Amino acid sequence: MPIDGRHHETGEPIRVAATGGVITAVEPIGERPDLPTLAPGFFDPQINGALGVSFNSPTLTADGVRAVVAACRGHGIAAFAPTLVTGPFDALRHGFATLASLDDLAATLPVFHLEGPYISAADGPRGAHPRQHVRPPDADEFDRWQDAAAGRIRLVTLAPELPGALAFIGHLRKGNVVVSIGHTAATPAQLRDAVIAGATASTHLGNGCAATMPRHDNVIWEQLADDRLTAGVIPDGDHLPASVVKCILRAKTVARVYATCDASSLAGCPPGRYRVWGDEFEVTAAGRVVVPGTPYLAGSGHFTDHGFERLLNDYGVTLADALALTTRNARVLLGLPVPTLAVGQPAALIAVSETPEGWRVRPA
């Protein structure tokens, strides 16, 4: 069925027709006051699973992956980078191999993200990652994971203070892998060395670090000030206060920030306690995913549409900038094509409307 709305770039009323998931026509229509804004669907570079399915699971199945993809599509996520976190070698190899085997989902899962295990083991910077599996960078181990992933690991999050990290960054860059600094207790000098070695991004800046730190020489200010780093943020209202998100956007500018939901494997699950990765986690009534009895979050219980609406309704971001943060910037960082509203492009779209209660988004 054709979709009517306003072009997100021009504001012109259009009708979009599609067949087989591909746009077949974009035609002008008459003016109407009730038209939503149409735009390409979200791209999120950090989704760990959903509905109880973890991409880290040693028993991950194709059906499990498809269930996560379906859940994400229901929230307007046209494509995303499945993210595997700190864990044992065989579980990660199985996860990457399972993801790479699904040829029909290659457009939806174009690249993969490895977040750890090469991160700080310290409480705070480590976040909810299992301490027993944290380890120094190992190029041979990574290459075996990359082989299992058919070369699709495009983003690696690591702590640059670890022994061998700078040489490992060079190894990743030779393989066209984007290196992101995260879950780190690095000094400013170590952060600068990582950027010189080839790091170009910061994973969920403001999270994955110590709860308290020096007021000036710390991991947040140093990364915030470096224009060579593109910063990821989680604008779900749980990971960062609105004031911090606003400051990151003002310091980096919208062009050097991307938004992620950081959905955990418990995203979309009802409130309760769950056992994941051998540890217990809790989904609260508000949708927060936490390590029980601690202040640590374990990813998010929300999807990208939730953060998109918060950007518009609570953080003072314009519609054009919110779309850049959620649909475009991470693709540019990872060297992926940016979809447009044109014939031959993917038909996975979102419709954004301004209501008396605020901005709302839905899959189109």
What was the pLDDT predicted at 249?
A: 97
What was the pLDDT predicted at 241?
A: 95
Amino acid present at 125: P
> CA–CA separation, 315 vs 329, rounded Å?
18
What was the pLDDT predicted at 20?
A: 94
304, 302, 295: which is closest to 128 by C-alpha? 295
Mean pLDDT, rounded, for 282-300: 85
Q: Looking at domain 42-338, which of 3.20.20.140, 3.60.20.10, 3.40.1050.10, 2.130.10.10 is its CATH number?
A: 3.20.20.140
Q: Which of the pair, 148 or 33, is modelled with greater confidence?
A: 148
pLDDT of 67 strictly over 90 = yes
Beta strands in the chain (DSSP E): 3-7, 13-19, 22-28, 37-40, 42-47, 49-50, 53-54, 77-85, 112-115, 153-158, 178-181, 201-202, 230-233, 257-259, 272-276, 279-283, 288-290, 297-300, 349-355, 358-363
Neighbours of 362 (CB within 10 A): 13
220, containing H or E segment:
helix 219-225
- The domains of the chain are located at 1-40+342-364, 42-338
Mean pLDDT, rounded, for 160-171: 98
Helix (H, G, I), strand (E, B) or coil at 166: helix
Confidence of residue 18 (pLDDT cuts 50, 70, 90): very high
pLDDT in tens, 97-146: 999 999 999 999 999 999 999 999 999 999 889 999 999 999 999 999 99
pLDDT in tens, 225-238: 999 999 999 999 99
pLDDT in tens, 297-319: 888 999 999 999 999 999 999 99
What was the pLDDT predicted at 285?
A: 86
Q: What is the pTM (predicted TM-score) of this model?
A: 0.96
Confidence of residue 346 (pLDDT cuts 50, 70, 90): very high
What was the pLDDT predicted at 298?
A: 82
Mean pLDDT, rounded, for 66-78: 98
What was the pLDDT predicted at 277?
A: 67
Confidence of residue 239 (pLDDT cuts 50, 70, 90): very high
Does 262 participate in catalysis according to the annotation? Answer: yes
Mean pLDDT, rounded, for 265-276: 91
% of the chain with per-residue pLDDT over 90:
92
Asked whether 76 and 350 are in contact (CB, 8 A), the reply is: yes
What does the mean pLDDT of the chain come to? 96
Question: Among the options 44, 226, 238, 262, which is catalytic?
Answer: 262
What was the pLDDT predicted at 302?
A: 95
